[in-house]
Chain A
Amino acid sequence: MYREQTLKKFNPALDNILYILHDLQDNNPEHYLAKEDIRACADYLEVPYSYVHSVASFYTMFSLKPRGRYIIRLCDSPPCHLMGSQSLLDYLKKSLDVKVGETTKDKMFTLELTSCLGACGVAPAMMINEEMFGNLTPAAVDAILEKRRKEL
């Protein structure tokens, strides 16, 4: 079980909670914090389930809903907005046929928005999982998504 192995890596101290939740989420096959993940973390840290849920729901990098293999996080902060992130968002919604926060039917992509990624020099920018992409255009987005589809 990934949960036990994940928890073992950390001291059962409350100040490790973000690390633990990051790790549980990364190891969850559906890239989110399931009830079982939250329960495991709560038991390990000896805090109520509600406490861990309150922390997990506060931070935008944690998801309480199942997500796809690739999590697209498009920046919509003012610098990227100025450089056209809105039209990219419309394009992504249309080409993936999802709304923000939803996952494609084939469970490949989840579309999310994020605050500034610090990649403003190459705005508009997005992240897919840990990887950053900048100077985005619809054509560039198509190529990036296509590459990931083919990798399967």
Chain B
Amino acid sequence: MNLVRNHVLISIDAGTIMAGARAVEKALIDEIAAQGLTAEISVLETGSIGATGQGVILVVYPEGVYYGNVTPQDIPELVEEHLLKGRPLKRLILSEIPVQHVIKKEKTGLLKEQPRIVLKNSGIINPENIDEYIAENGYEAIAKAITSMTPDEVIEETKKSGLVGRGGAAFTTGMKWDFARKAAGDIKYIVCNADEGEPGTFKDRLILEGDPHKLIEGMLIAGYAVGASKGFVYIRGEYALSIERLEKAIAQARQYGLLGDNILESTFSFDITVMKGAGAYVCGEETALIESLEGKRGHPRNKPPYPVTEGLWAKPTVVNNVETLANVPEIILHGASWFRGYGTEKCPGTKVFTIIGNVSTPGLIEVEMGTTLRDIIYEYAGGIKNGKKFKGALVGGAAGAFLGPDMLDVKMDFVNLKEYSAVLGSGAILVMDEDVDMLDMLKSVLHFFRHESCGHCVPCRLGTAQLVKIIDRISASKGKKDDIDKLLKIAQVMQATSFCPLGQSLYLPISSSLKYFGGEIHSRVR
């Protein structure tokens, strides 16, 4: 075997493919061959490293140099300078890449510190190769669970870790599993909610694209704990690459006997099916998702009964978000107290945030729960673009809350934000600079909900239509004096009477925008 001198990782995810990663990859391989370096330099594909909007990204190891915005035309120079002569090509180096892996103790100088639990392997390993996942302690947690823990012990450890659902509802994961385990019936299901539709959120996509085996392992552990032998992953139809990568990963896991009958020669059997959605935001609600899985319109169900007792095909069903399940293998492997070493007392662990809008370096970061909004914006995302002032942020997606400048030092976790009548939601942070028209942003949020209201219940169906009518009127400078009161009142009724969280959640963006930007919005009506 030849000794490889350099590894060049190329990030292949939806974002970099968009920027032309495939052409760069081909140019790189061809150029390395042309220079006769094929035996010494290995080109490997990996998932997203977390930066977006930086074009095609390459990482050269062992130096750990990150290059961004690479084009096929740059390749001859890059190969000659860095790979042949050993001089990093300064003009393409990314200085603001927020990656560091505390678990791996890897230092890369300029890079900001991030404790990566969920994204540990993303941008490091080849997501299409199960061996690389296994080399990073992959599938050790499920082996540990099966061979040395009872299902009850797995549930107990998960409860002790304090892990709560990362999709936004923040329900204790271990409790959910416990309910489903104790529910009557032999057939139980694990459903992974990968119907990521909350505007501004793309964390699940990058986990699926960057480390699909981690999700499989998380689902295996959940299945073992609950006593389920069948799992489903419901992915948005728009996420073509996620579906492709996950299906490949499932096929490999089956080949290795990590999915199927008698896993690791135990009595535990488990298999996973991928389901492709067809574009409906409401299917992110767990009972609507279950309806859709059953082949129906995605209308939410009445609760109770909750899915843990009567879910898919009326069987006990656990519905967990991708990020939640991706936390599980590390918790089982390292223990609950290790996990509690991250984050806050009430809200342990990390959170993956997508930080976007008017910031210098938009992207995806994983930081400890309780990191301040200021740190996330100024330390990780490079501050406000073009040196402008921070005006506000929409945190938690369209169903989230607006925050004003006096909230910059708020600690970002599920428990703390609740105290300020805000939510962490899915972890989307949309940043707005001083020039943004807040009424226009609110209008966009309301239009989103009108489009996504499923029409099942009256308050939401009519309410969203009325809200849009009123805000369009205000935006066209034809607003009436009591229009803003009307917005609030309608949203209040919707919050109290809508059938599912979709209609209930409009009150928050409306009330919070008025709380922080009320003067500006009121000035738009005569």
Question: Contact at B53–A122, with CB atoms within 8 Å?
Answer: yes
Question: Contact at B202–A22, with CB atoms within 8 Å?
Answer: no
CB 8 Å contact bits of B356-374 with A (1 = contact, 0 = none): 1110001110000000000
Question: Contact at A132–B14, with CB atoms within 8 Å?
Answer: yes
Question: Contact at B278–A79, with CB atoms within 8 Å?
Answer: no
Query: Which residues of A approach B to under 8 Å, CB–CB?
Result: 13-19, 21-22, 54-55, 58-62, 76-79, 81-83, 113-123, 127, 130-135
Question: Contact at B200–A77, with CB atoms within 8 Å?
Answer: yes
Residue of A nearest to B443 (CB): A81
Which residues of B sit under 8 angstroms from A81, Cβ to Cβ? 440-441, 444
Q: How far is the CB of B202 from chain A (nearest CB, A)?
A: 4
Question: Is residue B93 contacting chain A, with contact meaning CB distance below 8 A?
Answer: no
Q: A21, A79, A81 — which one has the most chain B CB atoms within 10 A of its CB?
A: A79
Which residues of A sit under 8 angstroms from B237, Cβ to Cβ? 18, 22, 59, 61
Question: Is residue B389 contacting chain A, with contact meaning CB distance below 8 A?
Answer: no
Contact of B430 among A16, A79, A122, A135 (CB under 8 A): A79
Contact of A82 among B197, B295, B430 (CB under 8 A): B430
Question: Contact at A121–B356, with CB atoms within 8 Å?
Answer: yes
Residue of B nearest to A122 (CB): B53
Question: Is residue B15 contacting chain A, with contact meaning CB distance below 8 A?
Answer: yes
Contact of A117 among B238, B281, B362 (CB under 8 A): B238
Residue of A nearest to B432 (CB): A82
Residue of B nearest to A19 (CB): B276
Residue of B nearest to A75 (CB): B199
Which residues of A sit under 8 angstroms from B451, Cβ to Cβ? 113, 115
Question: Contact at B199–A115, with CB atoms within 8 Å?
Answer: yes
Knowing A18-B292, A120-B362 are in contact, say whether A60-B279 is a contact too (CB < 8 A). yes
Question: Contact at B279–A134, with CB atoms within 8 Å?
Answer: no
Inter-chain CA distance A113–B8, complex, in Å, is 38
Inter-chain CA distance A121–B436, complex, in Å, is 18
Question: Contact at B53–A134, with CB atoms within 8 Å?
Answer: yes
Q: How far is the CB of A128 from chain B (nearest CB, A)?
A: 11
Q: How far is the CB of A118 from chain B (nearest CB, A)?
A: 4
Query: Which residues of B approach A to under 8 Å, CB–CB?
Result: 14-15, 17-19, 51-53, 196-202, 205, 236-240, 275-281, 292-298, 354, 356-358, 362-364, 394, 398, 428, 430, 432, 436, 440-441, 444-445, 447-448, 451-452, 454
Inter-chain CA distance A60–B451, complex, in Å, is 10
Chain A binding surface SS class: mixed
Knowing A58-B454, A81-B444, A130-B240 are in contact, say whether A121-B52 is a contact too (CB < 8 A). yes
Question: Contact at A127–B295, with CB atoms within 8 Å?
Answer: no
Q: B356, B358, B452 — which one has the most chain A CB atoms within 10 A of its CB?
A: B356
Residue of B nearest to A58 (CB): B297
Which residues of A sit under 8 angstroms from B454, Cβ to Cβ? 58
Inter-chain CA distance A19–B235, complex, in Å, is 12
Contact of A61 among B279, B358, B363, B436 (CB under 8 A): B279
Inter-chain CA distance A119–B48, complex, in Å, is 12
Question: Contact at A132–B362, with CB atoms within 8 Å?
Answer: no
Question: Contact at A14–B294, with CB atoms within 8 Å?
Answer: yes
Q: How far is the CB of A72 from chain B (nearest CB, A)?
A: 14
A-B contact list, 7 entries, CB within 8 Å: A15-B275, A61-B279, A77-B199, A119-B15, A119-B52, A120-B356, A131-B18
Question: Contact at A77–B18, with CB atoms within 8 Å?
Answer: no
Inter-chain CA distance A78–B199, complex, in Å, is 7
Q: How far is the CB of A32 from chain B (nearest CB, A)?
A: 13
Question: Contact at A79–B357, with CB atoms within 8 Å?
Answer: yes
Top 8 nearest A-B pairs by Cβ distance?
A121-B52, A59-B278, A118-B202, A14-B295, A77-B199, A61-B279, A60-B279, A81-B444
Inter-chain CA distance A14–B198, complex, in Å, is 27
Residue of B nearest to A51 (CB): B296
Residue of A nearest to B52 (CB): A121
